Each structure stands twice: as structure tokens, then as C-alpha cells.
């Protein structure tokens, strides 16, 4: 079962705060052993230490704040950011995800494991994807999937649009096919979907 993304990550601690801990250790070592160099060296080392740890702390706070804007659907491991869209109940969300998996399984038997056991799937509901071309696709679209990832954006017209009337299932199909085949060409995906009634 997937774990809900958390604001603390060891990689961030090591890469961002790690150098700060190193400079803190060096500074303490120099102070304990009677450093005799320029007087400004010790204060500067403390400034560097605080800067590294401060940047890490600020990054963690920003990540925590951002994650708080998502809704976690644990059954299949979806993080969904609604903007102003009224999200469905967990049961309704799970039902559409299962329906989508079932539709794709005859062609890609690993569809269920891609969705349930792979990386967390991130979905952003964004009003206006189909109204302007200032998005990642650079064209008016009902939804889009970011290739080689498990991230998708879904257009909605009103906050109460039924989930099954949005491009949610379609974009999930792109994630399934892309991860199953390693190919992310949109035209190839759409041709396959048309041929097999998966649009």
C-alpha cells in the first residue's frame, strides 16, 4: 500500500541541511580547539550554518503547506488538488479508478499494479485548461498527462461537474499505457484508445 506523501524527506535533510550540519561541526571543532585565524571566520561559519538549515526549514514548511492543499485517496494512492472543484467521495473516486483499471486490464494486465502499487498518482483539477493554451500542453485541452510520470491535470467547467464527465479516467489511461509500454507519444496513445474504445 502506498504511503501518503509527507513533508519531511531524508533526501532534503541530507542535501539541504547536511552542509549546514557539517559547517556547524567544523565551527564547534574550531571553537573548542582554540581557532586562531581571522576573527570573522567563526561568525561567518555560523551564518553559513544558519543559512543552510534555514533554507531546508523553509523548504519543509512550503512543502507542508502545499501538501495540505491536496486530498489523499488511500485505496489507490492518489493525491488530488481540487482548486475549486468539489471532489467526489472516496467510494466514488475508487469506483471510477477501478472501472478504468478494468477497462485497460485486457490490453495491459499490469494495469492494476501500475495504479495501485506504483508511485503516488498526482492529479490537479484546473478550471480553464480548455479555455486557454497557457498550460503545459500549450493548447486548449480537457486534460493532460505529464509524460514519464504519474502526474495529470484535469479540466473542469463547474465545481460540480461529475467526475466521470471529466478527463480524469482518460488521463489515468495515459498513465497506465505509458508506464506499461514505456512509450508516451500522445498520438500513439489516442490511436490505441480509439481502436479499443477507451477514449
Reported as a single tens digit per residue, the pLDDT across 124-170 is: 999 988 666 666 666 677 899 999 999 999 999 999 999 999 999 99
Q: Is residue 165 part of a domain?
A: yes
Check if the beta carbon of residue 13 is closer than 8 Å to that of residue 56. yes
pLDDT at 137: 60
CA-CA distance, 75 to 138, in Å (whole number)?
Answer: 33
31 band by pLDDT with thresholds 50, 70 and 90: confident
Task: Give the structural domain span for 128.
Answer: 71-195
Query: Quick one: 38 exposed, middle or buried, by C-beta within 10 A (0-12, 13-18, 19+)?
Result: exposed
Instruction: Tell me the pLDDT of the chain averaged across its residues.
Output: 92
Phi/psi of residue 101, nearest 5 degrees = -60, -45
Give the pLDDT of residue 129.
Answer: 81
The predicted structure's pLDDT at residue 18 = 93
Verify that 57 and 77 share a domain, yes or no: no
3-state helix, strand, coil in the chain (%, to 5): 50, 10, 40
Q: Would you state the pLDDT for residue 133?
A: 66
Give which of 107, 131, 70, 80 is closest to 196, Cα–Cα.
Answer: 107
Residue 54 sits at φ, ψ, to 5 deg, of -65, -40
Does residue 143 sit in the same domain as residue 78?
Answer: yes
Give the pLDDT confidence of 48-84 residue by residue, as tens digits.
Answer: 999 999 999 999 999 999 999 999 999 999 999 999 9
pLDDT for the residue numbered 36: 80
Contact 140, 128 (CB under 8 A): no
* Mean pLDDT computed over 108-112: 97
Q: What is the pLDDT of residue 138?
A: 61
Same domain, 114 and 37: no
| Domain of residue 125, CATH code | 3.40.30
Q: For position 155, what pLDDT does the model report?
A: 93
Same domain? For 94 and 174 the reply is yes
**Does residue 81 belong to any structural domain of this protein?**
yes
Amino acid at each position: 500500500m502506498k504511503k501518503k506523501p509527507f513533508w519531511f524527506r531524508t533526501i532534503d535533510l541530507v542535501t539541504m541541511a547536511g552542509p549546514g550540519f557539517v559547517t556547524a561541526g567544523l565551527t564547534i571543532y574550531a571553537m573548542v580547539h582554540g581557532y586562531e585565524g581571522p576573527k570573522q571566520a567563526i561568525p561567518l561559519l555560523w551564518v553559513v550554518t544558519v543559512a543552510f538549515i534555514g533554507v531546508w526549514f523553509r523548504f519543509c514548511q512550503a512543502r507542508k503547506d502545499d501538501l495540505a492543499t491536496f486530498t489523499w485517496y488511500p485505496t489507490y494512492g492518489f493525491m488530488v488538488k481540487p482548486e475549486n472543484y468539489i471532489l467526489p467521495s472516496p467510494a466514488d473516486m475508487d469506483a471510477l479508478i477501478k472501472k478504468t483499471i478494468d477497462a485497460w486490464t485486457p490490453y495491459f494486465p499490469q494495469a492494476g499494479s501500475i495504479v495501485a502499487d506504483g508511485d503516488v498518482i498526482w492529479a490537479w483539477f484546473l478550471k480553464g485548461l480548455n479555455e486557454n493554451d497557457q498550460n503545459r500542453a500549450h493548447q486548449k485541452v480537457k486534460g493532460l498527462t505529464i509524460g514519464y510520470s504519474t502526474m495529470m491535470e484535469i479540466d473542469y467547467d463547474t465545481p460540480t461537474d461529475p467526475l466521470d464527465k471529466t478527463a480524469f479516467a482518460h488521463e489515468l489511461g495515459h498513465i497506465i499505457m505509458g508506464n506499461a509500454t514505456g512509450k508516451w507519444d500522445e498520438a500513439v496513445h489516442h490511436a490505441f484508445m480509439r481502436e479499443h474504445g477507451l477514449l
